[in-house]
A and B are shown apart, each in its own frame.
Chain A
Amino acid sequence: MNFNILKNEFKKIFTNKATVWSVFGIVVIWSLIFGFTVPEIDAPNLQIASNNLYISLSTLIGFFVTYLIATQVFLAEKREKTIETLLCTPLSLKEIWKIKSVATAIFAELSCIFSVILVYICGFFPKSNILFPSWNVFIYLFVVLPLFLCAIAGLLGYIEFLFGMKENRIVNFIIVFAIVFGFNFVGASMKKGGFSSWIFLVIILCISLALLILESFLTKYLNKEKIVTSIEDVT
């Protein structure tokens, strides 16, 4: 992968200030809301509760940010009809998809790290019970989550490239519904749930790897004509 192109793609994400500020606001608000709910948890479970919060919240924020950015990175390229010109460059379709997916995932990963830091900062406030994350949280944050976010960005990019507006609207509806449902889950995860357990980490790792393998196979069926002919539906 050409890192200069990746750098430019990443830079391009930051030019959409509305999206960047939305992401920043969402990460700050949710991190603080959940960060300050931990004091309500019973003392003996505090380390597990904190770890569960770090992992479940970063997963959900990562998923949501990936969705927001992927919409900008992939769908806007069709909406603005810039994708046709991009497809005429020496880059292959697979390279374009890969670069955009990785740039999206890096942005989402940074948001997750920021969210974990914010939650930890909540621990400095009086009566807060937030504890420093255990090392399995770090493994999750720096090994498992990047792969998961790459897989999600790749999948969303694939769908957004392939489908027209109607289909993408249905996908968006499902994602928003999943996110709303997911936030209820984050609250519940602090009291019980094994988000910081090894089994959960391995499950997410396996899902991510399986998705990446599946996407790599599916890109054979993604062709320029499908993208170009679905532009009219998007615009």
Chain B
Amino acid sequence: MIKQNKNIAIEVKNLSKSFKSKLVLDNISFNVQQGSITGFFGPNGAGKTTTMRIILGLLYPNSGCAKVFGEDVDKSSDIRNRIGVLLEQNGMSDRLSAYDNLDYYATIYNIKDKQEKINSLLKQMGLFERKNEKIGTFSTGMKKKLGLARALLNDPDILFLDEPTVGLDPDAQKEFRNLILDLSKQKKLTVLLNTHNLNEAQKVCTDIIVINNTKIRYSGNLKETLQKYKTRDLEKVYFEVVKNNGLV
């Protein structure tokens, strides 16, 4: 049983996971502080998405545990009510309009004044004018924005973003980044961001976690980390950590 620290939003302790005989996560532990934007980095196949899926209760660990606000996401619908999720796919049906997609989820979250809420999010994302169009006709960037709107429908305390800017052009990436920063400031959201885009991460993250070869190789505050490595470049830190498997 994990003792719940009030400032900790996500607590991962001694988590191990294997698929058949392949070990994906080996006894990993880390915390995500409330109000932080934590970048979760690692090479392809390092276990980032698996870790996020375990935290979200979509996969079950072989040992250890992952808690959000001290509770197991899979077992607590209250906690699922407090999280927003944008996975690699935006999670919406191409056959429905932007409005109907949001309405589908707003009904599930039992949101009061859902029409007002949906319209306000669509305006915030710059999609209000196209709310009645089927999202099958939307660009990748528009779908990602709509996915973010969906993830924010229930005013979550924590946002889980898995590769949110993949497939976006630089302008859309910048716009998306600014949206996350604004939201984090306005609503004091905690964000766990899985990404390969280190430039983007350096601009938004307050904390970083690096995973490689099934283990957590580094975790810490971004500013302190850059000072420690005497650099301004997160990419340099990342390659150093990955190359030396966390040994500085």
A residues adjacent to B (C-beta < 8 A): 2, 4-5, 8, 11-12, 15-16, 80-82, 84-92, 223-225, 228-229
Task: Say yes or no: is B117 at the interface (Cβ < 8 Å to chain A).
Answer: no
Report which of A80, A85, A86, A90 forms a contact with B81, defined as CB distance below 8 A: A90
Task: Determine the residue in chain A with the shortest Cβ distance to B160.
Answer: A88
Chain A residues near B110 (CB, 8 Å)? 2
Q: Could you tell me if A84 and B58 are in contact, using CB atoms closer than 8 angstroms?
A: yes
Chain A residues near B108 (CB, 8 Å)? 5, 86, 89-91
Task: Determine the residue in chain A with the shortest Cβ distance to B103.
Answer: A8
CB distance from B47 to the nearest CB of A (A): 15
Task: Determine the residue in chain B with the shortest Cβ distance to A76.
Answer: B93
Report which of A12, A88, A89, A223 forms a contact with B96, defined as CB distance below 8 A: A12
Kindly state the separation between the CA atoms of A223 and B57 in the bound complex, as whole angstroms: 10
Task: Determine the residue in chain B with the shortest Cβ distance to A88.
Answer: B85
Q: Could you tell me if A82 and B95 are in contact, using CB atoms closer than 8 angstroms?
A: no
Report which of A11, A16, A89, A92 forms a contact with B105, defined as CB distance below 8 A: A89
CB distance from B79 to the nearest CB of A (A): 9
CB distance from A110 to the nearest CB of B (A): 20
Task: Determine the residue in chain A with the shortest Cβ distance to B91.
Answer: A85
Q: How large is the interface on B (under 10, 10 to 19, 20 to 34, 35 or more residues)?
A: 35 or more
Chain A residues near B103 (CB, 8 Å)? 8
Chain B residues near A228 (CB, 8 Å)? 53, 58-59
Task: Say yes or no: is B99 at the interface (Cβ < 8 Å to chain A).
Answer: no
Q: Could you tell me if A84 and B89 are in contact, using CB atoms closer than 8 angstroms?
A: yes
Task: Determine the residue in chain B with the shortest Cβ distance to A85.
Answer: B91
CB distance from A90 to the nearest CB of B (A): 4
Report which of B91, B104, B109, B160 forms a contact with A12, defined as CB distance below 8 A: B104
Whether A84 contacts B104 in the complex (CB less than 8 A), given A90-B77, A225-B59, comes out as no
Q: List 14 A-B contacts (CB under 8 A).
A: A2-B107, A2-B110, A15-B95, A15-B96, A15-B100, A80-B94, A84-B58, A84-B91, A85-B87, A86-B108, A89-B108, A92-B77, A224-B74, A225-B58
Q: Could you tell me if A82 and B89 are in contact, using CB atoms closer than 8 angstroms?
A: yes
Task: Determine the residue in chain A with the shortest Cβ distance to B84.
Answer: A88
Task: Determine the residue in chain A with the shortest Cβ distance to B80.
Answer: A90
Most buried by B among A5, A87, A90: A90
CB distance from B207 to the nearest CB of A (A): 23
CB distance from A2 to the nearest CB of B (A): 8
Task: Determine the residue in chain B with the shortest Cβ distance to A92.
Answer: B77
Kindly state the separation between the CA atoms of A15 and B136 in the bound complex, as whole angstroms: 12
Chain A residues near B78 (CB, 8 Å)? 90
Q: Could you tell me if A87 and B104 are in contact, using CB atoms closer than 8 angstroms?
A: no
Kindly state the separation between the CA atoms of A91 and B76 in the bound complex, as whole angstroms: 10
Task: Say yes or no: is B83 at the interface (Cβ < 8 Å to chain A).
Answer: yes
Whether A16 contacts B57 in the complex (CB less than 8 A), given A85-B87, A85-B89, A88-B85, comes out as no
Chain B residues near A88 (CB, 8 Å)? 56-58, 73, 80, 83, 85, 160
Q: Could you tell me if A80 and B93 are in contact, using CB atoms closer than 8 angstroms?
A: yes
Q: Could you tell me if A8 and B107 are in contact, using CB atoms closer than 8 angstroms?
A: yes
Task: Determine the residue in chain B with the shortest Cβ distance to A82.
Answer: B91
Kindly state the separation between the CA atoms of A81 and B12 in the bound complex, as whole angstroms: 26
Task: Say yes or no: is B92 at the interface (Cβ < 8 Å to chain A).
Answer: yes
Question: 5 closest pairs, A vs B, by CB?
Answer: A85-B91, A81-B89, A90-B77, A15-B95, A88-B85
CB distance from B57 to the nearest CB of A (A): 6
Q: Could you tell me if A80 and B104 are in contact, using CB atoms closer than 8 angstroms?
A: no
CB distance from A219 to the nearest CB of B (A): 15
Task: Determine the residue in chain B with the shortest Cβ distance to A16.
Answer: B95
Kindly state the separation between the CA atoms of A223 and B58 in the bound complex, as whole angstroms: 9
Question: Which residues of B (1-56) have their CB < 8 Å from a CB of A?
Answer: 19, 53, 56
Chain A residues near B53 (CB, 8 Å)? 84, 228
Task: Determine the residue in chain B with the shortest Cβ distance to A9.
Answer: B104
Task: Say yes or no: is B69 at the interface (Cβ < 8 Å to chain A).
Answer: no
CB distance from B198 to the nearest CB of A (A): 25
Chain B residues near A15 (CB, 8 Å)? 93, 95-96, 100
